[in-house]
Structure formats: C-alpha cells, structure tokens
Amino acid sequence: MELECGSNVIFEGMENIAVFNSSDWAERGFCKVCGSHLFMKPKNSNEYGVSVGLFENDEDIKFDRQVFYDKKPSYYSFSNETKNISSEYIYEQFPQCRSGDT
C-alpha cells in the first residue's frame, strides 16, 4: 500500500536506494540492502507514492480509496468504507497503464 505524498519527499540514505524503471511511465525505488519497496513515481511527474510501512507514526493514516478495486483478491478488504476506483477508470485516465505495467 502506498500513500500519495506529493513532490516534497526527502529520503535519508539515498546511497542505499536503487531506482528501477518498472514501465514506460513509472519508476520504483527499492532499498539496496534489504530489497524493500520504498516508492513509486510516474516519470512525467515528481509525485511520490510512498510505501505506508516507512512511516513510524501511522495512527493518523486513513485509507480512503482503493485503486484497481475490481482486480483485488477476494480475501483482501479494508475495515472502513473506501472510494473504489476500477481498472477501467484507471485505463481511461492513464492509457499508458493499459500494458499491465503498474
């Protein structure tokens, strides 16, 4: 799960971060030491989606939407009500995602 964090994101220990071009439209950051996924960033934007597990204080984090809701496993669900965004909507808004590279 990722949180939209905007463009004002600073990572400590940049020497330990590897960036992988995961598709034509996005890149992902990983820890070189343990392999943990750190972020996703569209190439045409400086907006980061940061893995929720990186935040020490998660008490105020509220998940209020699910993307690719129609593709989620049947056992996966949030305990609260969310805005559910379908793959069809994502593909309409971001046709570059159609290749299946997310």
pTM listed for this prediction: 0.70
Mean pLDDT of 97-102: 58
Query: What is the distance between the alpha carbons of residues 4 and 6, in angstroms, rounded to a whole number?
Result: 6
Q: Do residues 51 and 1 share a domain?
A: yes
Q: Which two tokens stand for residue 14?
A: 């940049």
Number of domains the chain is built from: 2
Report in angstroms the alpha-carbon separations of 35 from 29, 38, 86: 9, 9, 29
pLDDT of residue 102: 46
Region 12-33: mean pLDDT is 92
Q: Which structural domain range is residue 87 located in?
A: 62-102
CATH number at residue 32: 2.170.150.70
Query: Does one domain contain both 72 and 45?
Result: no
Q: Phi first, then psi: what are they for 54, rounded to 5°? A: -80, -15
The verdict on 74 and 43 lying in the same domain is no
The pLDDT assigned to 99 comes to 60
pLDDT in tens, 28-84: 999 999 999 999 998 888 889 898 888 887 777 777 788 888 988 988 888 888 888
